[in-house]
A and B are shown apart, each in its own frame.
Chain A
Amino acid sequence: MHKKNLIKPTQHLILLLLVEKPSWGIELLERLEARSHGAIRLNPGSLYRIIAQLVDDGLLRPVDAGVADRGELGAPRKVYGVTRAGLAALRVEAARQAEWVELARSLNLLEESR
């Protein structure tokens, strides 16, 4: 598998979380922190750099969440969701990871780790 097809762990977790539930900035930051047990703690600039990258790659897009929620600045809070291309990328990633998990199991690593 070529390196360019790999999704970085933080991007991967963001995509998975947004499949689970479309979210906006601060909400996503909090969910990321909770799901990674505090291991992934991003600042807003870094989060939006990843979001912008995923939007540019066509994996994310702002979705109409049907909520007229506005922030302190008066601007609507943009809620991001995963596109079809994003779902496809996640499926490829999941299949690849399943292969890796199988390999780990064949090497008795999963049992040992328990």
Chain B
Amino acid sequence: MRALWRLRVLLWLYPAAYRRKYGDEIVETMRRRYEAAGGGVRRWLMLSSLVVDALWSGACVRVGGAGQFVRGLTKGWGLDVRFVMRAMRRHPGYALTTVGVLGIAVSAGATVFSYVRGTLLRTPPYRDPAGVVAVWGSNPVRGQLRDVISGRTFIDLQRDSKSISLAAYHYSSTYIQVGGRPEVIDAIEVSADFLDVLGVAPVLGRDFDDRDRTSGGPSNVMISHAYWRERLGGMPDVIGRALITEGTPKTIIGVLPGGFEFVAPATLYVPLRDDVLAASPRTNIQYNVLGRLRPGVSVRSASEELSRVMAEAHRRDQPGWVDWTVLVEPLQRVSVAAVRPILWTLAVTVALVLLVALVNLAMLFEARTLARADELGVRQALGAGRGRLARVLAIETGSLAAIGALLGLLVTPFLLEKVASLVPLWIAIPGSALRIPVLRASLDAWVLAISLGTAVAGALALTVPGALLSLRRSRLARSGRFHRGVRGIRMLVGIEIGAATVLCLAAGLTMRSAARLLSTDTGVRDRGLLTLYFGDAWSSDAAGQVAYFRRVIQAVEAVPGIRSASTIDYVDFQAEDDFAGLDLLDREQHAGLAVREEWRRVGPRLFETAGMKIVAGRDFLPADFDGAARTAVINQSFADKHYGGASAIGRVINIHNQPYRNLEIVGVVADVKSLGPAAAAPPMLYVPWQGSKRGTQGLYVRVDGDAVQYATAVRDAIWSVDPSQPVADIRAMSDLVEDWVAIPRVTRALVSVLGAVALLLAAVGVFGVIAFAVRTRRSEMGVRLALGATPDRLMLELLRAVAPVVAFGGAAGVLAGIGAAYGARAVLFDVSPLDPLVLGWAAAVMTATALLATWLPARRVRQIDAGEVMRTQ
């Protein structure tokens, strides 16, 4: 029977006489059709078809046939368009305000939606992306949620898993000689199945195959499409040619398709040999793994199977690691995890601004319709039906909205360029050290159509029906009871105040959050600190490496303006990680607690150069770097985690698989928040650098003044020692830190600007309503002034009329804002959604704005000449 009532409601679309004559029969026929449709989706489809049919038939019956209905819709368009053009020329202020308001809202909306489209709704450039997953080694208890996997474990997983095909990859860099100087290029080492798992084939040449699986095979590489086009001139016979990297010739066997970019871009694809993977120690975890689920396999079952295989492998030869599991996640989801909350927050923010803009437009439009009630009344008297008037109003609003939206879209590319210059190119996947260039904007036809469509449809929906109702009310205006007609406008003001309050609150919270974040001590003095990677002393022995790096430091420190320089194997704030298995010996130094923590090998004066504070014990001394290492320094997090309240100084540590034994902890340094100010600093062990297989070192250079200005001088100093050594990634430490706070900083800027725009629009709305009320109630106020009322009293009345609307809208906005802030807590740092300072600030700003916007036009009451009004009356 519920369905019957739903169907009967449709009869109201027909004229009453028609309904009486055919209503029962139509409902009965509809019911039979509806019931015959079956259940579920089919029934809903039938209901939708019945609704559309009733809408169309009702409209046709009302105007006397389908042909007449269509003719009625199209007749006289030219005349109406000319009428609208004349009206706009007469009131350019209204037209310009409408276009401007919508232009601002649409440009902001299209900018944010371009990022949502390009980042969250992007289709990755590989086959069936839903089946591609990221595979991590995971140990949440140890705080390592998404970690890399050892080569040997990868081989076990690949061999024993039935539910998923796997590939390993590892980002690295290499160098080629260009013009006699080494040039560093991005490379990715991939196992032979890498492209197969992604479902991508080279556009030229071939993929890696069994010949590339084992060492001793040919030295092959594949190159990116961009490198082939831009650096090799798109030569058609590139396959089979040699590319010399690090002094060794490699054969180019394939070119990747244009637009293909796996997680991070790479120029060179180098084979990762199975025997190399299998030979690496189980504890030497360094490879990222991706997989493709076999048909019908869920993420969960793949995760369970891989965890089982990993646990068995660890039980066999690494019993201390049996608590490690495998985490499998859809690659697309995890790669946008870091930016999803921010983008959705911004999307909601611009949607609110668009709402405020449209409500403003509706208020302007309704006030204007009331003001031109006489003109429209004349058109009605001359035979124009309400449909015709609606069409005139729709042409006016639709064309203004379309012009505003198009102008806004013209500005959008410039806004995108501005935002792109502010946001970082790389973002780390939460809980992992993998950095990806995830934030992309895409201003495509989809974004343009949605922006334009939302502006025009929203403007039409919010203006035309209200204006038609106002035409009825205009009769009240003529009967002297006009103020009842503005009730609808007051409701719109309330909505606008509410939305603007939400945005004020959002702006306050993001400002406070960003301020907290930016004032967080990162643990290094980033101003005046230059960082870079240099050297590739693979062939040197440890003593040769140490000698080379010492000569480089001497050469760099000899540059005028440079105070000190030191090495560290991984530069902080680059999301690099390097874990080692450690034995923490007890006080008697015979029992060891096995742990796995990050470690760094550093040169002399590293802490002084970086500006890191020693909180206990001492720094490394020059003597600590002579001979075998005997000392270590830990950071505060390491001390807190493993030694609790007890002093760590004097305790002894062994490092697995490394020539570092019986290291005595001599100092504790303050934490470096190397994963950004918002993340906890990882526990860290520092040891004196003694040479290593990995020849490349990070270099910290403390300078007087602007760090980047020393880039060329430092590079030349390094090349003065050995011109064949590559120098890469020269960046100021302050820029590296900035990468981690850029998104909160941009979010703060965008939300603040949008909040200010909403505030301005709300003020314009209130101002417009009061100015309109004063203008239309001029006669009534004039009479009251003549009868003894004071202008102040009348002004107070106007304020009283607005006060409840502001109070109600503001209170609703605060509640909605708090709710929204709880939903968007992920983007806030160290600020509660109930922060009293922000709540008070938002309420004060909103109240002050509303009072000012009321008071300014209310002053016009003083300009009413009571005598003149009485004479006119």
Which residues of A come within 8 Å of B, CB atoms?
24-26, 29, 43-49, 51-53, 71-73, 75, 77-78
Contact = CB atoms under 8 A, between A and B. Distances in A.
B872 interface: no
Given A44-B50, A71-B24, 16 more contacts: A24-B25, A25-B29, A44-B26, A44-B29, A44-B33, A45-B10, A45-B30, A45-B56, A46-B53, A48-B22, A48-B57, A52-B22, A52-B61, A71-B25, A73-B4, A73-B27
Say what secondary structure dominates the interface of chain A: helix
A49 B60 contact: yes
Contacts of B18: 52
Contact of B25 (A46, A48, A49): A48
A71 B53 CA distance: 22
B57 A46 contact: yes
Given A52-B18, A72-B4, A72-B31, A45 B57 contact: yes
A71 B50 contact: no
A4 to B, nearest CB: 12
A26 B36 CA distance: 11
A52 B66 CA distance: 13
A28 to B, nearest CB: 9
Interface in B405-451: none
B522 to A, nearest CB: 68
A32 to B, nearest CB: 12
Contacts of B24: 71, 73, 75
A45 B28 CA distance: 11
B53 A77 contact: no
Interface in B812-864: none
The 8 closest A-B pairs by CB, nearest first: A45-B57, A43-B53, A25-B29, A44-B29, A75-B24, A71-B28, A45-B53, A26-B32
Contact of B30 (A44, A51, A53, A75): A44
B90 interface: no
12 contacts: A25-B28, A25-B29, A26-B29, A29-B33, A43-B53, A44-B26, A44-B29, A45-B10, A45-B54, A48-B25, A49-B61, A52-B18
A72 B22 CA distance: 15
A42 to B, nearest CB: 8
Most-contacted residue by chain A among B4, B29, B30, B50 (CB, 10 A): B29
Nearest to A29: B29
Contacts of A45: 10, 26, 30, 50, 53-54, 56-58
Contact of A75 (B4, B28, B32, B54): B28
B546 to A, nearest CB: 87
Interface in B48-66: 49-50, 53-54, 56-58, 60-61, 65
Contact of A25 (B25, B57, B58): B25
A53 B33 CA distance: 22
B800 interface: no
A62 to B, nearest CB: 10
Nearest to A45: B57
Nearest to A74: B24
Contacts of B33: 26, 29, 43-44
Contacts of A48: 22, 25-26, 29, 57
A29 B25 CA distance: 13
A46 B55 CA distance: 10
B295 to A, nearest CB: 37
Nearest to B58: A45
A8 B60 CA distance: 17
Interface in B12-30: 18, 21-22, 24-30
B32 to A, nearest CB: 4
B58 to A, nearest CB: 7
Nearest to B1: A72
A84 to B, nearest CB: 22
Contacts of B58: 45
Nearest to A44: B29
